[in-house]
Amino acid sequence: MQVTEAIILFIYLLIVTFIGIYFYRRARQSESDYFTAGKSINTFVGAFAIFAAVASSSSLMGAVGSGVALGVPYFFTYAFGVIAILPFAMFLISGQIRRSGVKTMPEFFQQRYGNSVQMVAAIIVVIGMTFYMVPQLTASGLIGSYVLGIDYKAAVIILGLGFTLYAALGGMWAITYTDLIQGAVMLIGIVLLAGIILVDHGGLNSLISAALSVDPAFGDITQPWMSYFGLFIAFLWFGIISPSVVMRNFASRDAKTARRSAMWACLLYLTLFIAGFMVTAAGANLGIVGTLDNTDMIFVSVIEHYLPPILGGIMLAGLMAAIMSSADAMLLAVSAAVAHDLYKAHINKQASERFVTGLGLIVMVVASIIGILIAIEPPGLIAIMVGWVGGFLLSAFGFPIVLGIWWKRANRQGALIGMVGGAIVFLILVIGQWLPTNAEPIIAAPISLVLMIVVSLMTDPPSKEVQAQVDYYHTHLDDEQTA
């Protein structure tokens, strides 16, 4: 057991849990409070919240571990795709989807296409976001077993239920303000670690030379081109197709704030990956890939090698921040999909807001337990698992959401066929394993696009009211007038 690191981690968990308890009463006041923090989040808080929602364990442990194991070109493919997420989303959907006035992504599909598309979208959200919990829980188990000196499975259960507690209690209010803290902790931690690594090696050139001398293949391309391209586009689209990220737009005060938050979050993410490259090079320099059961632990090995216990504890808290800030957003997306988009929208439209938020709380706990059961025997490296989720959501949601905002002719039948067709093709390709790892969206996403366009053109256009709503997404009215 790492005593100093364990104490720091314990204090950190207490703080975020207290925040969840603090916001409990406010979050339960209404669905808007629970799922979108009353649509009142400003640019500063929103930027850190978006950054923290995107910067999962994959951005730290996953990117570094895969960069060392698969070569630095894999790291840069990952980094370029992720850094481009937020500018891409800012121009394509951030302001427009905020003007729609909805609370969740499936509710947007209902507004644009109708009830059947909302129901299918909600089911896809539940599947995708529950599986996305697995790499986060895997990372928490690895860190917990190292710091606390307990079995990996026990660490997954304890820490998984721990971050579920504050998210379930405080909803988007607690999630947003814990993400502000968590985003700052992970950013400061990794910049500090990168600075110490550079000082220790006497500069960047010396660090890279040392890494290449230990592992000459560190700079080599080790994967087929389709793996790199598939990973890139899966992450490029993540800010558009991930409900856990898109919901941050709904929490912004208005469309302008949503765009500004995305812009500043992009700069935060750029800083994270610049520092992350230093950590990856340091990990290669350690030359321990063949000695580890799980290469995602390379990040922790770098911390142990370069930092004293107190700073190491802070950096491990930063890793937990990355895990928790993304996991809580995923839990909220699953919660909203079941409680708001399925139960209230289609089963009991007269359900009180307090009952819906209570149901959302229960759904979070259930989703967390399912994720924990899968994470006990994780199916792959963290970065690869996140790539699967990104590819699945891109294949299902990518074009229905973008064409829904930018193409008036897109209709219910086209969106439904495109969404279901893309998701099914992606799953078939993953199960069949005919393509290189993470290359599936290269085939599945274009099939979704073609199906949606062809079916939309072969069937009746949307009503004039729906087409007018598309025009409204692109106006410049303040959101106070859209509510």
DSSP letter for each residue of 404-458: HHH-TT--HHHHHHHHHHHHHHHHHHHHHT-S-TT-THHHHHHHHHHHHHHHHHH
The confidence score (pLDDT) of residue 289 equals 73
Q: Which amino acid is at 409?
A: R
Q: What is the pLDDT of residue 24?
A: 66
pLDDT of residue 146: 76
Cα–Cα distance measured from residue 244 to residue 226, given in angstroms and rounded to the nearest whole number:
27
Residue 72 has pLDDT above 60, yes or no: yes
pLDDT tens readout for residues 367-382: 888 888 888 876 655 6
Average pLDDT for 294-301: 79
**Share of residues in the chain with pLDDT > 90 (%):** 17
Task: Determine contact, residues 413/462, Cβ cutoff 8 Å.
Answer: no
pLDDT of residue 117: 92
Q: What is the mean pLDDT of residues 429-434?
A: 87
pLDDT average, residue stretch 124-135? 82
Name the more confident of 351 and 250: 351
**What is the pLDDT, as a whole number, of residue 345?**
83
> Of the ranges 99-103, 124-128, 266-270, 277-281, which one carries the lowest mean pLDDT score?
99-103
Phi, psi angles (nearest 5°) of residue 41: -80, 130
Contacts of residue 14, Cβ cutoff 8 Å, sequence gap at least 6: none
Task: Tell me the residue type at 239.
Answer: G
**pLDDT value at residue 452:** 96
> What is the per-residue pLDDT for 428?
94
d(CA 145, CA 124) in angstroms, rounded, equals 32
pLDDT the model gives residue 197: 93
Q: What is the pLDDT of residues 198-250, one digit of tens each?
A: 999 988 999 999 889 988 888 888 888 888 888 788 777 877 777 767 777 77
| Residue 138 CA neighbour count, 13 Å, CB half | 26
CA geometry: angle at 8 spanning 4 and 10, to 5°? 115
Contact 470, 417 (CB under 8 A): no
- Yes or no: say if 339 and 345 are a contact pair by the CB < 8 Å rule: no
What sign has the CA pseudo-torsion 365, 137, 157, 33? negative
Report for 104-113, 251-260, 282-291: range of highest mean pLDDT: 104-113
* pLDDT at residue 258 tops 90: no
Give the pLDDT of residue 29.
Answer: 67
Residue 196 has pLDDT above 90, yes or no: yes
pTM of the complete model: 0.75
Higher pLDDT, 243 or 134: 134
Is the confidence at residue 306, as pLDDT, over 80? yes
Q: Is the pLDDT of residue 458 over 90?
A: yes
Complete domains list, the chain, with CATH: 3-386 (1.20.1730.10)
With 0-12 CB in 10 A as exposed, 13-18 as middle and 19+ as buried, what is 35?
buried
* Ranges 30-44, 152-166, 260-274: which has the least confidence: 30-44
Mean pLDDT of the chain: 81
Categorize the per-residue pLDDT at 47 as very low, low, confident or very high, splitting at 50, 70 and 90. confident
In degrees and rounded to multiples of 5, residue 379 shows phi and psi of -85, 0
pLDDT at 479: 44
Instruction: Flag whether pLDDT at 170 surpasses 70.
Output: no
SS3 296: helix
Interacting residues of 248 by C-beta distance below 8 A, sequence separation 6+: 41, 46, 49, 50, 53, 258, 261, 329
> Quick one: pLDDT at residue 451?
96
Residue 353 has pLDDT above 80, yes or no: no
* 309 Rama class: left (phi>0) / alpha (psi -120 to 50) / beta: alpha
